[in-house]
Chain A
């Protein structure tokens, strides 16, 4: 592991509560994230995986500073910070966000040039126009949209989804951030174009040594982009398993991860899967009825009395797993690879 390095960003015991809307009496806050700890090292790709409603986007917004956590500490570059507006780090320039919906993320009445120009001008007040133009030209060649004049004068609706997503990437890297959070960046892109976008992200990661947090529900694309990185599997606001992505996919240890990986279809008819998933029920539990015990208990095939007490992380050879009854969970690989 990369323990000698200091982490770029550290999240320590992050908790996030949302107020339930409405004026009902006795309404409880919803506990969306529970004791999340995450270290992100420079130049690393960390993937966050989970079903919708598991809190992965909330985590992304806390990392980018759009939300302030209810409790817990965020350390960035060795300094304790409190959010996006913290003057200590000028975090606009350090952490950037790539959104899922590229159409909604770009201003429809501005040209691409204007959308790229504005953030650079805001951060570098003294730069001349020619300097900024040069920078934009450089960005356009990095993301592979050439000749750039053809794209810069256009409006977002005149570009395809893949091209817009590339523009978002250019905008995100335009201020040389140290960390980029990408929230489902390819889920709305056609299959044949996905891979080239993922390749672009890998390339930017390697060339510019930027750390990426890749948030997704799709394990296949995650494995592709973070091929040697780490993955954190989230379930109802908790990280239930984290480790090297190759190990986690091959021999998942948490019962939830095992079900998740069995559910992923493989583009090869020879692997039809085992049919029934190792789960008790299909519905996701509710965030409102959080108890002290394991959140996955009600769906888990291997639950026992131990699961009602507070749950602790177990360090296995390859991963860190949040489970009290890990001995009972099978540990053979899901797919035999030859």
Chain B
């Protein structure tokens, strides 16, 4: 088995608008490790949702992958196969989505159909993907999954989405994502609208799924504390670029990139010294009018002459970590 489940190589994603073309993701390369939880951290507009939807070719219109290659390493009983996501036909991608890579969307409220019961929706997904199961088998599969996410299946299956609480809907969505035994689940801000206690339960559940079912996960979030607690690998995105990548322990300890350093320093915590926290000055870049050189330089406290003129390359560091900064290449 390959170490990576997905490799993203030099991917750029464009949104052609009437007058300009907006580049949401620029020349990004990243690996998603098999069996691990990889987190992508970034503020709104950093391109993390665009990037993750490109894995299942679900970028919202009119966005498209302009350059680069996304490869999914499929492991089945017959062996291993490389799937190039961009080269699949419409019919193939419909089968690929959800069966190989599924997604838990940010707003579980709006991801479920309000006029269908949970049972109808689960059944529909299975039949649409060509599973030849009898009614009893489908019923059993639904009950098993809902039980797995600690929901009372008798009640939930007959419910319409509005009859469930936010945390329950989110768990229904997780059950949905597991329905076709995917190898990778993309989690797009899965707990943003939920309380801390519910959030903690959801992540314990996801961790259990990751460990017991060996499903790889890609977690998109803006909350770096969640990453510290639950993820194995972390990629930090800013202005459509991957600024830093590495294991969670290493990235948090070394804080190589000035943006990572700022982000960790700007996140309030319930322990430690409050006096040491400080905000990142300035505001996020305008994607239609990107700064020259390094995209972070207008906000960077260590900015030098070279940073304003030349965009740093992505430096490969020991142990597979990367850092996109002129000053921190060791």
A residues adjacent to B (C-beta < 8 A)? 51-52, 160, 162, 190-196, 198-199, 217-221, 223-224, 227, 249, 259-269, 271-273, 275-277, 279, 282-284, 335, 337
Contact = CB atoms under 8 A, between A and B. Distances in A.
11 contacts: A52-B195, A190-B44, A192-B262, A192-B263, A192-B284, A261-B270, A263-B197, A264-B225, A267-B228, A268-B252, A268-B272
A272 B229 contact: yes
Interface in B267-312: 267-272, 274, 277-281, 283-284
A274 B105 CA distance: 28
A251 B150 CA distance: 31
Contacts, number: 127
A191 B224 contact: yes
B267 A220 contact: yes
B113 interface: no
Contacts of A259: 197
A259 B199 CA distance: 12
B268 A220 contact: yes
A249 B283 CA distance: 31
Given A220-B269, A261-B270, A337-B271, A277 B195 contact: no
B204 interface: yes
B284 to A, nearest CB: 7
A219 B200 CA distance: 14
A199 B43 contact: no
Which residue, of B200, B223, B248, has the highest number of chain A Cβ atoms within 10 A?
B200
Which residue, of B226, B230, B268, has the highest number of chain A Cβ atoms within 10 A?
B268
Contacts of B196: 51, 217-219, 260, 263-264
Contacts of A272: 229
A227 B225 CA distance: 19
A256 B252 CA distance: 30
Given A191-B266, A277-B197, A224 B271 contact: no
Given A51-B198, A191-B223, A271-B228, 13 more contacts: A191-B267, A193-B283, A194-B266, A195-B268, A219-B270, A224-B274, A224-B277, A263-B196, A264-B225, A268-B228, A268-B272, A273-B229, A284-B165
A43 to B, nearest CB: 19
A263 B279 contact: no
B45 to A, nearest CB: 9
Contacts of B226: 265
B271 A271 contact: yes
A194 B284 CA distance: 13
Contacts of B280: 192-193
B228 A269 contact: yes
Nearest to B275: A227
A256 B269 CA distance: 19
A260 B222 CA distance: 21
A201 to B, nearest CB: 13
Contacts of B264: 267
Contacts of B249: 269
Nearest to A198: B268
Nearest to A335: B271
Given A220-B225, A265-B226, A269-B252, A160 B267 contact: no
Contacts of A264: 196, 225, 270
A263 B166 CA distance: 17
Interface string B236-277: 000000000000110010000000001110111111101001
A219 B199 CA distance: 14
